[in-house]
Amino acid sequence: MAKTVSIPVNHFIGSGDTPVLIVGRLWSAEQDTATLVLANDLTEADARFAEALHASAGTIEAERQELIADYGCDHIITSRTLLT
């Protein structure tokens, strides 16, 4: 049987009604990062995750645009889990 665990809201980035665990990385990273995100929908959650990744890496807008030109997006999402 699964055990229910409460996660305090201060462990999430963003705000909204949909809690999501997103795992992914920047193209240059060797390991994934897991982030708890609150958003109003999955598109918003993905955007907040990407912003957090780039903010922590210090990526500038020109670098992001170059990644998009090279790979079609500026980050990789390996998994996304809706939390209830």
pLDDT band at 3 (very low <50, low <70, confident <90, very high): confident
Strand positions, DSSP E, 9-75: 13-14, 18-25, 33-39
Model pLDDT, residue 57: 93
**Cβ-Cβ contacts under 8 Å for 22 (sequence gap 6 or more):** 34, 35, 37, 45, 46, 49, 77, 79, 80, 81
pLDDT band at 50 (very low <50, low <70, confident <90, very high): very high
Please tell me the total count of domains within the chain: 1
Structural domain of residue 67, as residue ranges?
Answer: 11-82
pTM of the model: 0.89
Residue 31 belongs to a domain: yes
Residue 32 belongs to a domain: yes
Model pLDDT, residue 4: 84
Give mean pLDDT, residues 41-63: 95
Strand positions, DSSP E, the chain: 13-14, 18-25, 33-39, 76-82
Given a cut of 90, is residue 2 above it in pLDDT?
no
